[in-house]
Amino acid sequence: MQHPILKIENLSHAYSTAWAIRDINIEITKKGIYGLLGSNGAGKSTTMNIVCGALNQTKGEVYIQGVNIRKNPMEAKSHIGFLPQYAPLYLDLTVSEYLLYTARLRGIDGKAAHESVDEVMEKCGVVHMKDRLLKNLSGGYRQRAGIAQSIIHKPALVILDEPTNGLDPVQIVEVRNLIKEIADERTVILSSHILSEIQLLCQEILMIEQGKLVFSDTMDAFNNYVAPQSMLVEFENAPSADVLAAVKGVNRVEKLTPRSFRIFYDGSKLVSETIITESVRKEWRMTQLAIEKNSIDEIFKQLTGHSEKN
């Protein structure tokens, strides 16, 4: 029987008397990039620390490749690679020295350790920097070295916490591409507060808010979680904004040009159908109707209950 790569059962943890997370259940069975979202204090970091074995949970169980991380931590951790938000680098070591050290920490010795170092340096694009001290590297190359240490032992599960934090636009693109390559071979959980980053990289979304798992589904489902709220329309013989605002289901109308409008509505498909029908009947001669999908930021607000009241 093939075990899930990650299985979390009824996971709960309390600091003193306050619960940080309650009854979280997650099961990941395939490769790819999973986005872990959550606002500050939501319980995201607590969950990651427990999954990585850095924190013992109050209740519940975590299994990595079928291995219970509390009962058999050494074996479970052998299947995990972790890059915290601030890469755990020894700045006075060269890139190759650092990676050789991390390989040996992972129980890789002798010739196999050197082969593993060469392999991850090639994969992470730091071969030409191998003899340079880590303290003399740019932020992007330091992050590459951090990612290299997280995959040097070929783990099934890699957890990356804010991997593009503090990087410039060019470095961000390079690290994104590297993460995609890593996900071809293993499961990646990517934690980020940058919603556009999650949108670009992830196929699945896990979202924790107020200590509970509030969403677990595909990116498409996440994007479509909340019905569209606005549409752009344009006419050759445009009616007044008041006429459009009188359509049932329309909340308000914003006039953009003499012929174009943004219509905010209740999400019902009947609104667009009514406007099309009226355009034909009253010869408004519609030239454009485009539904505007919610931005990922708006969806995040809806899911966390932070949406503004109109």
Q: What is the mean pLDDT of residues 47-58?
A: 93
Task: Count structural domains, the chain.
Answer: 2
User: What's the confidence (pLDDT) of residue 310?
Assistant: 41
User: What's the confidence (pLDDT) of residue 82?
Assistant: 95
Q: Which residues pair with 68 in a beta bridge?
A: 63
CB atoms within 10 A of CB 203: 14
Closest CA to 143 of 88, 191, 105: 88
Residues 154-180 have pLDDT tens digits of 999 999 998 988 888 888 888 899 999
Please indicate, yes or no, if residue 298 is contained in any of the structural domains.
no
Same domain, 209 and 288: no
Please indicate, yes or no, if residue 304 is contained in any of the structural domains.
no
Same domain, 111 and 181: yes
Residues 234-268 have pLDDT tens digits of 999 999 999 999 999 999 999 999 999 999 998 77
Q: What is the mean pLDDT of residues 61-82?
A: 96
Q: Give dist(CA 3, CA 21) in Å, integer.
A: 25
User: What's the confidence (pLDDT) of residue 306?
Assistant: 58
User: What's the confidence (pLDDT) of residue 122?
Assistant: 95
Pairing relation of β-strands 32-37 and 187-191?
parallel
Could you please report the per-residue DSSP string of 176-233?
HHHHHHHHTTSEEEEE-S-HHHHHHH-SEEEEEETTEEEEEEEHHHHHTSS---EEEE
Same domain, 90 and 218: yes
Please indicate, yes or no, if residue 170 is contained in any of the structural domains.
yes
pLDDT band of residue 309 (cuts 50, 70, 90) is very low
Q: Is the pLDDT of residue 294 over 50?
A: yes
User: What's the confidence (pLDDT) of residue 280?
Assistant: 95
Q: What is the mean pLDDT of residues 189-194?
A: 86
Same domain, 106 and 175: yes
Residues 204-240 have pLDDT tens digits of 999 998 899 989 999 888 877 666 678 999 999 999 9
Same domain, 36 and 162: yes
Q: Which residues pair with 250 in a beta bridge?
A: 265
User: What's the confidence (pLDDT) of residue 204?
Assistant: 94
User: What's the confidence (pLDDT) of residue 295?
Assistant: 66
- The owner of tokens 């060019």 is 170
Q: What is the mean pLDDT of residues 105-114?
A: 94
Q: What is the mean pLDDT of residues 62-70?
A: 96
Same domain, 175 and 42: yes
Same domain, 279 and 133: no
- CATH of residue 51: 3.40.50.300
Q: What is the mean pLDDT of residues 277-296?
A: 88
Q: Give dist(CA 43, CA 211) in Å, integer.
A: 5
User: What's the confidence (pLDDT) of residue 80?
Assistant: 97
Same domain, 149 and 34: yes
Q: What is the mean pLDDT of residues 3-27?
A: 95
User: What's the confidence (pLDDT) of residue 304?
Assistant: 67
- For the entire predicted model, the pTM comes to 0.77
Domain extent, residue 120, equals: 6-223
Q: Which residues pair with 80 in a beta bridge?
A: 157
- The owner of tokens 């650092």 is 98
Task: Tell me, rounded to whole angstroms, the distance of Cα 172 from its chain centroid.
Answer: 14
Residues 79-109 have pLDDT tens digits of 999 999 888 899 999 999 999 999 999 999 9
Residues 120-158 have pLDDT tens digits of 999 999 999 999 999 999 989 999 999 999 999 999 999
